[in-house]
Amino acid sequence: MALLAAGCGAGTTAATTAAASPTPSASGSPGSLASQVPAAIRSKGTLTVAADATYAPNEFIGPNGTTVVGMDADMAKAIGNALGLKVTMVNATFDTIIPGLVSGKYDLGMSSFTDTKAREKIVNFVTYFVAGTSFYVKSAGGPPVKSLADLCGHTVAVEKGTTQQADATAQAAKCRASGKPPVTLQVYNDQNAVNLALSSGRAQVAMADSPVAEYQVRLSHGTFKLSGAPYGTAPYGIAIPKDSGMTQPVLAAVKKIMADGTYMKILNKWGLQSGAISNPAINAGH
């Protein structure tokens, strides 16, 4: 399940519950959208949304030390508003989110999940963003990695359960098969640990979704730099339990916040407008 549960993101060992950060609300009354919400969720009045809050700017812990903030938290709240529901964000380790959806612990997963056909066998997705994967290295002495093939012979840090882990693992096998120097793969429970491995010199290369890698490079004030161009651009999807009845309501809510301008306000707020889409869909992964 772990490799199927990825796309981005990480978290803490203990999940903490926090309200979504303030964001421009969807205009107008939820109206008919609220009537589409299954009775079990409509009666409790709240969506429980899981995110791995170590993946800034998409999801991370805010200045108060407890609240989950970021693009996904704001999107979740806007979707909740459109459906006439409150939203509770739960900080959960990334590779536990999809199992938590399957078990009924969470209503939605919004944690930079890449929508893939493999994951669609377990949960449904509603697409809402696009991103690729980027490599980043130390600015001083970092190796010139520009593609997965360039990982041969290097120590690479990735987050557990992500597409980056899957890609690096597959590349390690290719390096061995072709007789090239091996990849030393370091897998960490959250993206913060990946960043620490790179800054401390334990790893030579780190990988993350492109907006997250770019954000970490900016935060490093020159310690890190991007290496090469992003690869593998693919849609992010809101992860939804298959039997919950929430897939169509969430799609309708995403279309609503796109139509009324809330969607672009959120992306502009976090500097992520380059990942905007205009055609959300169900299970549109590759």
Tens of pLDDT, residue by residue over 100-121, are: 999 999 999 999 999 999 999 9
Q: How far apart are the first and last CA of the chain?
A: 18
Q: How many CB atoms are closer than 10 A to CB 144? A: 9
Q: How many CB atoms are closer than 10 A to CB 12? A: 16
Among candidates 110, 28, 99, which has minimal Cα distance to 77?
A: 110
What pLDDT does residue 8 have? 53
Mean of the pLDDT values across residues 251-264? Answer: 98
| Superfamily name and number for 132-232 | Periplasmic binding protein-like II (3.40.190.10)
Mean of the pLDDT values across residues 273-284? Answer: 96
What pLDDT does residue 286 have? 79
What pLDDT does residue 31 have? 60
Which residues, including other chains, have CB under 8 Å from residue 123's CB and lie 6 or more apart? Answer: 98, 101, 102, 109, 239, 240, 241, 242
- Where in the chain are the domains? 3-131+234-275, 132-232
The tokens describing 88, both together, are 């509770």
Among candidates 72, 25, 26, 76, which has minimal Cα distance to 52?
A: 72
Write the CATH number of the domain with boundaries 3-131+234-275.
Answer: 3.40.190.10
Q: How many CB atoms are closer than 10 A to CB 252? A: 18
Q: Are domains 3-131+234-275 and 132-232 of this chain identical in fold? A: yes
Q: Is the pLDDT of residue 29 over 80?
A: no
What pLDDT does residue 123 have? 98
Whole-angstrom distance, CA of residue 121 vs CA of residue 239:
12
**pLDDT band at residue 32 using 50, 70 and 90 as cut-offs:** confident
Coil, strand or helix at 12 = coil
Whole-angstrom distance, CA of residue 215 vs CA of residue 82:
29
Q: Is the pLDDT of residue 79 over 60?
A: yes
Q: Report how far Cα 171 is from the mean position of its chain's Cα atoms.
A: 22
Q: How many helices (H) and strands (E) does the chain have?
A: 10, 12
Mean of the pLDDT values across residues 149-155? Answer: 98
The tokens describing 91, both together, are 């900080």
Q: How far is CA 33 from CA 85, 278, 282, in A?
A: 11, 19, 17
What pLDDT does residue 266 have? 98
Alpha helices in 20-96 (DSSP H): 32-36, 39-44, 71-82
Q: How far is CA 32 from CA 26, 36, 80, in A?
A: 14, 7, 14
